[in-house]
Structure 1
């Protein structure tokens, strides 16, 4: 369990801890993270908090949530070569559709469409 800092949101501290474990190879690319229940028990937090952590890791392009043959819907560490950084400039907007698509509208009016699980949005 982490020694939580009362000055920072707990979910951010857990997300940082999981990021460190991914970087250190504790959770290897392509491997499955522990279940929400296991993570919540391990960190001593609610499953709602764990869901917030997973959403953050997913939005940062570190994990993907998917159903794989022979396994329940789970969270997997994304392989690095599948993530493309997309730079969000001033006036650009991003909308996510329910079908796993990210639609980026540039300030110039140009529209770009990406698979939401294949990009990481980077702001300037």
Structure 2
């Protein structure tokens, strides 16, 4: 704990104590720290002293403070490999972490002309649309929409409900060797819905990644646009 006559400031001792607890696994990556009031009581200090310690940890990148939600232990940044065969689950498993996700929307609709153009399809063509949150170790890292030519993916909804994986569905449909044709990356601030899904404040940017995947014959099979939490994720391009 802290010593009031050690010659070291109280806030510095508190910051070091919390850092030690994080390193020991008492507070694992992504976990929420006790509230400001709880920490103040635990260390027997006023909130001003506690806030100084928390501010120091945030500036050092050890924790992140989210307005209205509290303080969280910073996760390890995920290295996301963009290569000929880019697979979300493989990228996560490669770093000995656990992939996951949940479906927000799965429907068939007449495609937006801009999306149909990306897929090389004519106006009025139907698409299967899958909106999904991607997770790493149970924490959301991305939210995105994936579009597939409906005629080329019969039974997609039923297969996805069974397999819960885009790669597994496409493999079952005979497109297991699909590859990445194009990747475009931009950055912007998230809207309110994306910030909520990603569990992050709106003043923290997201990386927007547009991608086109093609089947072995070179025909587009998927167009996707996803927003990734920029502080939990970095792109690595295979040369």
Unaligned residue ranges in structure 1 (runs of 5+): 83-98, 102-116, 119-124
Q: Tell me the equivalent position of 1:94.
A: none
User: Equivalents in 1 of 2:65, 2:23: separation in Å?
Assistant: 19
Q: Tell me the equivalent position of 2:71.
A: 75
Runs (4+) of structure 1 exceeding 4 A deviation are none
Unaligned residue ranges in structure 2 (runs of 5+): 79-202, 206-229, 232-239
Q: What SS does structure 2 have at the residue aligned with 1:80? A: coil
Q: Tell me the equivalent position of 1:26.
A: 26
User: Equivalents in 2 of 1:42, 1:57: separation in Å?
Assistant: 17
Q: Tell me the equivalent position of 1:55.
A: 55
Larger radius of gyration: 2
User: Equivalents in 1 of 2:65, 2:50: separation in Å?
Assistant: 13
User: Equivalents in 1 of 2:59, 2:17: separation in Å?
Assistant: 16
For residues 3-44 of structure 1, what are the alpha-carbon distances to aligned partners after superposition, in whole Å with 9 as ceiling and x for unaligned?
344311110001000000000000110000000000000000
TM-score of the two chains, using structure 1 as the length reference = 0.60
Q: What SS does structure 1 have at the residue aligned with 2:14? A: helix
CA 1:26–1:56: 2 relative to 1, 3 Å: same
Aligned residue pairs: how many?
A: 84
TM-score of the two chains, using structure 2 as the length reference = 0.32
Q: What SS does structure 1 have at the residue aligned with 2:71? A: strand
What root-mean-square deviation, in Å, do the aligned CA atoms of Structure 1 and Structure 2 show?
A: 2.3
TM-superposed CA distance for 1:81, in Å, is: 1.6
User: Equivalents in 2 of 1:60, 1:4: separation in Å?
Assistant: 24
Contact 2:39 2:50 in 1 (8 A): yes
Q: Tell me the equivalent position of 2:199.
A: none
CA 1:17–1:5: 2 relative to 1, 3 Å: farther
User: Equivalents in 2 of 1:63, 1:16: separation in Å?
Assistant: 13
Residues 1:15 and 2:15 aligned together: yes
Q: What SS does structure 2 have at the residue aligned with 1:45? A: coil
Q: Tell me the equivalent position of 2:36.
A: 36
TM-superposed CA distance for 1:100, in Å, is: 5.7
User: Equivalents in 2 of 1:79, 1:4: separation in Å?
Assistant: 32
Contact 1:4 1:13 in 2 (8 A): no
Structure number with higher relative contact order (C-alpha < 8 Å, ≥ 6 residues apart): 1
